[in-house]
Amino acid sequence: PLAAFGDDIAELLDRLDLASAAVVGHSLGGYAAAAIAQRQPARVTRLVLEEPGIPPRVPGQRHGLSGPRFALSALAGLVVRRGFDRKAVTSAVSQLRAPDPAWWEGLASITAPTLLISGGPASHIPAQLLAEVAGRIPQSQLVTIPAGHRVHSRSPDAYLAAVVPFLVDEGAS
């Protein structure tokens, strides 16, 4: 199941013998980063969610991967150009399209200072949805960098200008 991706991060921290760490995730990685921050809040010191995968709260709600702006060609690109496993991609997208009210409720349990990054109008994830996610996480801020879904690769200077100071300020919290 998709929720196990957060467990994978916890296992990696265990193998690296790290009690806690700053966690940065993009897209599906953002979903996984939020999952560990929800389930094991003490393990995450800072959280950066760049255009995270966001499941709907209720049946019939359409946004992100199920919304009208999401192109199936993007999935094909992951499989063909990037070599991702077709079944894994299809499974992850199917699960992210399924309502998950528990994920939404779990946002309030995130204790790490959190930076959410929106790709702005060119992204398939609506900015107002990311604003709603930010509003449910106690210590969060939302930054918009109008670069589309892949902010880190399409606007690396702006991405680093937002993320690095946030992570460096770790000792201030």
Q: In this structure, what is the dihedral angle of CA atoms 162, 22, 154, 27, given to the nearest 10 degrees?
A: -120
The pLDDT, as a whole number, for residue 84 is 65
The pLDDT, as a whole number, for residue 139 is 96
The predicted-structure confidence for 40-80, as pLDDT tens digits, reads as follows 999 999 999 999 988 888 766 555 554 444 444 455 455 55
The predicted-structure confidence for 112-166, as pLDDT tens digits, reads as follows 999 999 999 999 888 999 999 999 999 999 999 999 999 999 999 999 999 999 9
Distance CA 71, CA 172 (A): 41
Distance CA 163, CA 115 (A): 8
Paired tokens of 10: 């916890």
The predicted-structure confidence for 82-93, as pLDDT tens digits, reads as follows 566 667 777 777
Segment 30-44 shows an average pLDDT of 94
Distance CA 13, CA 43 (A): 9
Sign (positive/negative) of CA torsion 75, 127, 23, 39?
A: negative
Phi, psi of 26 (to 5 degrees): -115, 135
Grade residue 81 by pLDDT with cuts at 50, 70 and 90.
low
